[in-house]
Structure 1
């Protein structure tokens, strides 16, 4: 999961640099046109090349939309699809939602475009590209080091480190008055990408292999909701507080990973203090111990 996100970081590195120069020399039309063309190309590519790896016992000539939607939300409606209680899945989805809210929107771009920074589009492009490499690739390397040096380290503990890194990064960004402080905030936030793939991994282990698609449908649905509400919420907060303190919105944004941190610590302590190991029989996706705690 983390390597997958690191590859996304490499793609972001290239796109941020290219977009910065395209905006400077051609305006906004060409970057959007190129992005649309890329999405169209991959839509065709997926439609032509991607096959369903799951062998179906029964085939039907027509897909029923109601059945399809039911499969997406089957994690909450059919407990036999998960090895932990429904509340376990929901609490991690909620942590994911809360943590992901501040990552949406363009507040950092608006913040650096205005005084006292007055960055150009190339400067913003290079900063976004380098910070993506630092976060995605650097975070992946640090995770590998932690797993090598501490072989029994749990994903939940690394998630907590990542949440702390995110809180500190937003606070420093909100206090920034010079370019160097913004660079420092990017360095402090080197672990902030880790909670996203690790929460996905934690949830993936709790779901039957045949229901991984339903799980990630829920995750990316939440991600889309975060993008919509996050952009609206934080843009409005910035608009109404910019005269009070320009970086105030980042303090509000820091509150979201802090809430997720408190929830994560609580869930982790509860899980490992009352843990009763439960495993799924891959040939028969039924809960092996119905009395296990959720």
Structure 2
């Protein structure tokens, strides 16, 4: 038992970290990461054509995400007149829509790729199908028209799946994580705002203008259509291999072997590839200083050249 005369404060933690200040200094700065994500599209190593292409792709994806949220009250659209569907009818329609999207979207992408269409042209065609799908659903009045509209809307989602790959072609490897973070943040904000706003609009206009949200979505789709047309004209003579030059520190990923009883093979989880993430990443290993431990047995001694002293170290 503790004596009453003890000078120990009960609020004093039993385990104190002696390097508490060090952890505070090494903690990442959230504000700096945020500004890096916002300014990733401004780079002196990138020409004006690539910077304009990045901005066009980003703004196009932003308006496409906002236009897609006009389908947020679609379930209420099916429950009201003139359809008045039951839960069974909505379930059958959702299952048929998922199957048609999975099949027709892949076939459409394959056909456009075989025809030699660029990513910007594919997105342009996709927005045309999105516009037609919104107009078709806005004036639909029977069940067969809803099912027929799935044949059109199946080709309307290519912008969301191609945005990341389009931007990755014009960004350096260390810029891609910040750019993808920014795109994800914008998509989240647009989805949250659009879902709330268009559900509120539908609730206020369902009595007189039940198709107003679909007409708004068709109008918003015109903006990414024009932007992708400008992007297709801008990148018509741009080669896919015209990427920013990499510095000497941007080396290939370094494979790391973990202890295993058997040799690593393709698809084995014990063979991890660590991608190079930034110029200051401590996990990147230069190509010339990389040991050749993948070709020798784990029990045999390994020889590694120390890059700082040029001495030969044997493990």
- Tell me which interval the TM-score lies in, with the shorter structure as reference length: 0.5 to 0.7
Q: Distance in 2 between matches of 1:215 and 1:284?
A: 22
Q: Secondary structure at the match of 1:245?
A: coil
Residue 192 of structure 1: how far off its partner (Å): 0.7
Q: Distance in 1 between matches of 2:145 and 2:249?
A: 51
Equivalent residue in structure 2 for 1:131, among 97, 100, 103: 97
Q: Secondary structure at the match of 1:171?
A: helix
Q: Distance in 1 between matches of 2:191 and 2:136?
A: 23
Q: Distance in 2 between matches of 1:194 and 1:181?
A: 23
Greater shift, 77-86 or 183-192, is seen at: 77-86
Equivalent residue in structure 2 for 1:242, among 206, 231, 241: 206
**Judging changes above 3 Å, is the alpha-carbon distance between structure 1 residues 81 and 262 closer, same or farther for their aligned structure 2 residues?**
closer
Please say if residues 135 and 192 of structure 1, whose CA atoms lie closer than 8 Å, have aligned partners that are also in contact.
no
Q: Distance in 1 between matches of 2:94 and 2:46?
A: 40
Alignment of 1:131-150 (within 5 A): 131-148=97-114, 150=115
Equivalent residue in structure 1 for 2:122, among 158, 162, 165: 158
> Residue deviations 1:196-227, cap 9 Å, x none?
11222211111112222112111111111111
Q: Residue 62 in 1 paired to residue 27 in 2?
A: yes
Greater shift, 108-117 or 64-73, is seen at: 64-73
Q: TM-score, normalised by structure 1?
A: 0.68
**Judging changes above 3 Å, is the alpha-carbon distance between structure 1 residues 118 and 139 closer, same or farther for their aligned structure 2 residues?**
same
Please say if residues 172 and 243 of structure 2, whose CA atoms lie closer than 8 Å, have aligned partners that are also in contact.
no
Q: Residue 106 in 1 paired to residue 52 in 2?
A: no
Q: 2:82 aligns to what?
A: 116
Please say if residues 97 and 226 of structure 1, whose CA atoms lie closer than 8 Å, have aligned partners that are also in contact.
yes
Q: Distance in 2 between matches of 1:78 and 1:285?
A: 18
Q: Residue 267 in 1 paired to residue 239 in 2?
A: no
> Residue deviations 1:87-142, cap 9 Å, x none?
33222111101111132262111100112212223432332233233224421222
Residue 81 of structure 1: how far off its partner (Å): 7.0
Residue 239 of structure 1: how far off its partner (Å): 2.8
Please say if residues 95 and 264 of structure 1, whose CA atoms lie closer than 8 Å, have aligned partners that are also in contact.
yes
Rg: which structure is higher? 2
Q: 2:159 aligns to what?
A: 195
Residue 83 of structure 1: how far off its partner (Å): 8.5
**Judging changes above 3 Å, is the alpha-carbon distance between structure 1 residues 71 and 82 closer, same or farther for their aligned structure 2 residues?**
farther
Please say if residues 138 and 215 of structure 2, whose CA atoms lie closer than 8 Å, have aligned partners that are also in contact.
yes
Structure 1 segments unaligned to the other structure (5+ residues): 1-59, 287-294
Alignment of 1:212-291 (within 5 A): 212-272=176-236, 275=238, 278-283=242-247
Equivalent residue in structure 2 for 1:87, among 24, 46, 52: 52
Please say if residues 79 and 86 of structure 1, whose CA atoms lie closer than 8 Å, have aligned partners that are also in contact.
no
Please say if residues 63 and 220 of structure 2, whose CA atoms lie closer than 8 Å, have aligned partners that are also in contact.
yes
Q: 2:38 aligns to what?
A: 73
Superposition RMSD on alpha carbons, in Å? 2.7
Q: TM-score, normalised by structure 2?
A: 0.63
Q: Secondary structure at the match of 1:153?
A: coil
Q: 2:135 aligns to what?
A: 171
Q: Distance in 2 between matches of 1:223 and 1:176?
A: 29
How many residues matched? Answer: 224
Please say if residues 82 and 206 of structure 1, whose CA atoms lie closer than 8 Å, have aligned partners that are also in contact.
no
Equivalent residue in structure 1 for 2:61, among 74, 96, 100: 96
